[in-house]
Structure 1
């Protein structure tokens, strides 16, 4: 049976082709199962570097480039380009098999020969070379071609390596980038080499006799999608970007499809490293392994907001077209699930108090009534971050409790005063029949803990860094302890709500079952480098008693530098932003592929009005304009979990980013003030890393102090 392979990167290139060309590509390759390469009219080239690389006519102006050996029924679709560009590309490239992974690679021989010649004429001093700490033996063990060693030995810095990225074989570039980022050869072996061979053991490969290309493509899954028929081809080409999003790199696949974990497991990593995709695939893997009598909804896939839950639901539909299998996975956000559990127990709907301003007003009123000189913000934070976080149910328990992380010390007398205020606050809520979201989660955990029957077989949690301990206790109680009970994905560099947890203190142990992803597949190197510099002095916790790090965190994509733009006035900033969005659209970017992030919604609405007046469609997230396929405008909080080709982060003024009202006054609690500042910084980092190709950060008046890089 014929097999067609499509490289992951081709999916992004295909998404940018004009619709008539896309249609013609499908028509041409839709018949590959029925024909050998001769039937597909693959044309040989004169004096190619690799005679197996052929071209095929797509239309009058476009040609496809295909790797097609003389024997076997396997083909690898490499490119669809303008006629002359396709010929030039095909003549300069060669396909090889990586000596370490045995997977297929592509290399631009012509460009690499020119590069080798140029470095020979400008050899840096030994102490200025990038890989002096790695021996030739280690490099070849990691799959570096021996003929490339002289070139590799002359790299002077990471910029030199990055300049040759598009010419080097992809697997070999990954190895070199990992070494350049500070990983040891053994770490690179585990993360870039071993994961390839672990995923495709020999027992899983069944090629036709003599079909060496099929073997190499099978060993390259994670970079190459193998299609067995025209229906599968149509499916993947009808939604190329979506297919690219749920594509797993071997390092991700190793985590997602591990047969079983002996207990709870966790995956961490910076933005764009694929944590959510890993969580989705883990849910699929667990669904396939459920007992045949398992009910629908036996697996919970959850996150902290309903918007992110909706995104997970949509991605799951792309990943699992089989509706009965997909029904085994229930997708709902944590607060909605807690609300359902408590509502079912009480038999009545719950009135949720959501406005932070109203909550603070109540605390202030209670403090005044009790004659306490305690700040309303301080009281609310003490209740949420100490009392609810530790599930303290008596004044004696509170008196003995640790207040680690709180900056203002409290004497026993002051603790007694705080407890009186808490009793008054919760009594008011109870008398009014009202709840806060965290109270509901705490109550749901109390209802679940004595039960012997738990609602779910497995729980998969995305964006875990923003969950409160009360929510964690509920999640722990939703599933019995045992193999594959909890699968956790998160990144504390993206924590925006300030809730710090130690999983082990909540009965969740991930020791020996924790994995870190280091490669960003979404954001360009330039955007990632600029955004990461925002956090260069920060070392957040890792949710398990250690410190999180972005060491070795890198991108595989390249693009332009982020654009920073200041204006004198608010109206001037908006006008300049509209002009930039118009420029992106004129350059071929769809309106729905553009995101505009703001710190507060009013500015977003003004930007939306200006864009509409210029004739551009808009979609304001979280408002009545939240439907439609226009430029997506939302607060930085709303942008969490989303991604766009182009992102404009607007209104990054001093006093707005960080937002003054979001900061605890230092005289109230100095430690909380520092934590709030970090949360605002993380929020800016999250907004900037939503961009895949282009990032623009703007302000009017004085810029944010965060931008003083």
Structure 2
């Protein structure tokens, strides 16, 4: 590393040359965009449908080539040794840019030639002689920093530009980390499409960003395949999805869809809420077998023959043959709807065999005609009637005898009683379905007809899903792969997973590789050390995050003797003197009082999911929605209230752990009641 970061001066020729390359690259990108805008498709499409598809593709390409003034076009440079790449020089950026002759001016960060920017080191320079990082201010190139990877006289140093980029204040949604990806993160980002990867990462380790950048990489490396099969990012709530929604577009990827688990299974309107005990039972993997039994119970073993009349001939399929057909379909354990569709063809095939034995020569058209015969259709309705998944679940949760029959040996009598409706609804529409009920209906729906699978799914905050929710997500990537992101220490639901082995089994990806990120880049060392005092009490055995950032004064714990609300408002006003975003995190029940106090003090505030601006940087965050979010400065109200709001101590401590680790630059904790004893030194 060069001794110092080189800053901008008028006489600094190297920096002037880099600025000239930046200006030329921007001009080239503008020319690429104008070339696409000038395309005339009137004479190259056969019909209006093709024209509409092509025009949509052109518009997406134009958006992808946008030059965002606040986003650096390139952030690094690699000078290869003569032994590789003929000693060429490459500028590394968010997207590929070429000049009028097609020669590259900026290389996409995902290209193989860009990989050493993230992984090369003095121990393994990967044929790179020099790695240069660039510093920007408001989009202007203002500094650069060099590492001579093959120079033994140059000492290893921490990159000041890299650290400055990591610590840069944030206003607005989550940013990409493409300029600061670390080697262990890059290995996960560039892992192949065919395998599923599970990333265990504590607060500040960048697991969410790693997952999103992996999507961008996979779309680059397997664009044609994923264009056909689709890609989906699943987050814990809409506020979180809004927070991360600009990361992929900033990397030029515009087609990735986002969803919550609740959105995926929205077969019915969710208007009810379960008790914790009921939700745990409904989310248990045993419910999958209960539902399978309930759906299959609609099949009736035939006891009467089917007689098909064709012209003057009558063809009789005896009951024992019908039973053999039905049992064979049941034994195959294919989906209920697929088996129901196959049944008339199986019966028709049996009739065709009888015809052939009598000397006739029927063909496929005759089989199709027999399958549509009124007698066959009536038999199918009686043997294998159509099933409405929501009605099956409604009956299970309303009819104690029906539930007991299909839950025998799976659920205890007490568990069955826990999930029954207190007052059975009259219909599917009138039922007050809960979120867990919707997942059951999704499972039943898949038992009837196959759920469409995508090419790749990213599941974030995965530790909070129930086994049945994992199954719902797994159905969406049954023929594809997944990136699973989470932190077992941040599991705050009563059904939170105990291990990734168990979770991945429910997801249908037991072979997935589990990677652990333990180096923290976001949360200051003092803050993460304070929060980590809770780990032995809530997640014993889980490794604490080791932060690379030491920020003296980043933690301030204050005891308040009176007027806690006033002290919290004052702390928020104090934090607003700093640059960046501010999060006021409190127990959900405390939010109305704090909202009133902020309003009385004339401090405007946002709700989670609303975009911060330079004029409005304070967000009032219920503790239940804090997961996955981050702020430059956090004011944390009454930790004991956050713990007490949860149904048990472990969940309460995990909720507090989440709240304590949302700060990037500074954390102020205010309390009028004694702090939880678990925050004391061991």
Same fold (TM over 0.5): yes
1:440 corresponds to: 438
Residue 361 (structure 2) pairs with residue 428 (structure 1):
no
2:184 corresponds to: 251
* Contact 1:264/1:510 (8 A) holds in 2: no
Supply the distance in 2 between the matched residues of 1:225 and 1:276 (Cα, whole angstroms): 22
2:656 corresponds to: 684
* Contact 1:527/1:695 (8 A) holds in 2: yes
1:480 corresponds to: 478
Residue 404 (structure 2) pairs with residue 395 (structure 1):
yes
Q: Among residues 558, 562, 566, which one is paired with 1:575 in the alignment?
A: 566
What's the offset of the Cα at 1:635?
Answer: 0.8
| SS state at 2:642 partner | coil
C-alpha spacing 1:244/1:293, structure 2 compared with 1 (3 Å): closer
C-alpha spacing 1:24/1:606, structure 2 compared with 1 (3 Å): farther
C-alpha spacing 1:197/1:682, structure 2 compared with 1 (3 Å): farther
1:559 corresponds to: 552
1:516 corresponds to: 516
1:465-501 CA-partner distances (Å, limit 9, x unpaired): 111212111111112345xx11111101011113244
C-alpha spacing 1:203/1:608, structure 2 compared with 1 (3 Å): same
* Contact 1:442/1:474 (8 A) holds in 2: no
Supply the distance in 1 between the matched residues of 2:12 and 2:564 (Cα, whole angstroms): 44
Residue 281 (structure 2) pairs with residue 326 (structure 1):
no
Q: Among residues 472, 477, 488, which one is paired with 1:492 in the alignment?
A: 488
Supply the distance in 1 between the matched residues of 2:13 and 2:591 (Cα, whole angstroms): 43
RMSD: 5.1
Residue 587 (structure 2) pairs with residue 604 (structure 1):
no
Supply the distance in 2 between the matched residues of 1:286 and 1:438 (Cα, whole angstroms): 32
1:95 corresponds to: none
C-alpha spacing 1:443/1:688, structure 2 compared with 1 (3 Å): same
Residue 671 (structure 2) pairs with residue 657 (structure 1):
no
C-alpha spacing 1:217/1:294, structure 2 compared with 1 (3 Å): farther
1:454 corresponds to: 452
Supply the distance in 2 between the matched residues of 1:68 and 1:379 (Cα, whole angstroms): 57
| SS state at 1:335 partner | helix
| SS state at 1:577 partner | helix
| SS state at 1:242 partner | coil
Supply the distance in 2 between the matched residues of 1:625 and 1:224 (Cα, whole angstroms): 27
* Contact 1:271/1:520 (8 A) holds in 2: yes
When Rg is computed on C-alpha atoms for both structures, the one with the higher figure is 2
Paired residues for 1:531-546 under 5 Å? 531-539=531-539
2:265 corresponds to: 338
What's the offset of the Cα at 1:267?
Answer: 0.9
C-alpha spacing 1:455/1:196, structure 2 compared with 1 (3 Å): farther
1:384-404 CA-partner distances (Å, limit 9, x unpaired): 4475487665536644338xx
Q: Among residues 224, 231, 236, which one is paired with 1:304 in the alignment?
A: 236
* Contact 1:300/1:331 (8 A) holds in 2: yes
1:32 corresponds to: 18
| SS state at 1:657 partner | helix
1:302-361 CA-partner distances (Å, limit 9, x unpaired): 12211112222122223x2x2xx421x11111111221xx3xxxxxxx32124x4xx45x
Supply the distance in 1 between the matched residues of 2:200 and 2:11 (Cα, whole angstroms): 38
Supply the distance in 1 between the matched residues of 2:174 and 2:197 (Cα, whole angstroms): 29
Supply the distance in 1 between the matched residues of 2:454 and 2:120 (Cα, whole angstroms): 31
Gapped runs of 5+ residues in structure 1? 15-20, 37-65, 77-101, 105-192, 227-235, 343-349, 361-376, 403-414, 541-547, 664-675
What's the offset of the Cα at 1:198?
Answer: 11
1:617 corresponds to: 604
2:321 corresponds to: none
Paired residues for 1:113-512 under 5 Å? 201-202=126-127, 216=149, 242=175, 244=177, 247-258=180-191, 260=192, 262-292=194-224, 294-295=226-227, 298-318=230-250, 320=251, 322=252, 325-327=253-255, 329-339=256-266, 342=267, 350-354=268-272, 356=273, 359-360=274-275, 378-379=277-278, 381-385=280-284, 388=287, 394-395=403-404, 398-401=407-410, 415-416=412-413, 418-420=415-417, 422-425=419-422, 427-428=424-425, 430-431=427-428, 432-448=430-446, 454-481=452-479, 485-501=481-497, 502-506=502-506, 508-511=508-511
C-alpha spacing 1:652/1:420, structure 2 compared with 1 (3 Å): closer
* Contact 2:189/2:217 (8 A) holds in 1: yes
Supply the distance in 1 between the matched residues of 2:123 and 2:173 (Cα, whole angstroms): 27
Supply the distance in 1 between the matched residues of 2:476 and 2:128 (Cα, whole angstroms): 38
Residue 575 (structure 2) pairs with residue 584 (structure 1):
yes
1:264-304 CA-partner distances (Å, limit 9, x unpaired): 21111111101001100111112123353754781011122
Q: Among residues 635, 644, 656, which one is paired with 2:622 in the alignment?
A: 635
* Contact 1:441/1:470 (8 A) holds in 2: yes
1:25-66 CA-partner distances (Å, limit 9, x unpaired): 999957624389xxxxxxxxxxxxxxxxxxxxxxxxxxxxx9
Supply the distance in 2 between the matched residues of 1:627 and 1:214 (Cα, whole angstroms): 35
1:213-247 CA-partner distances (Å, limit 9, x unpaired): 68649999996999xxxxxxxxx999999355873
What's the offset of the Cα at 1:24?
Answer: 11
Paired residues for 1:29-68 under 5 Å? 32-34=18-20
Supply the distance in 2 between the matched residues of 1:652 and 1:419 (Cα, whole angstroms): 37
C-alpha spacing 1:626/1:652, structure 2 compared with 1 (3 Å): farther
Supply the distance in 2 between the matched residues of 1:67 and 1:291 (Cα, whole angstroms): 26
Supply the distance in 2 between the matched residues of 1:271 and 1:265 (Cα, whole angstroms): 19
Supply the distance in 2 between the matched residues of 1:289 and 1:202 (Cα, whole angstroms): 23
* Contact 2:528/2:545 (8 A) holds in 1: no
What is the aligned length? 463
* Contact 1:608/1:620 (8 A) holds in 2: no
C-alpha spacing 1:643/1:389, structure 2 compared with 1 (3 Å): farther
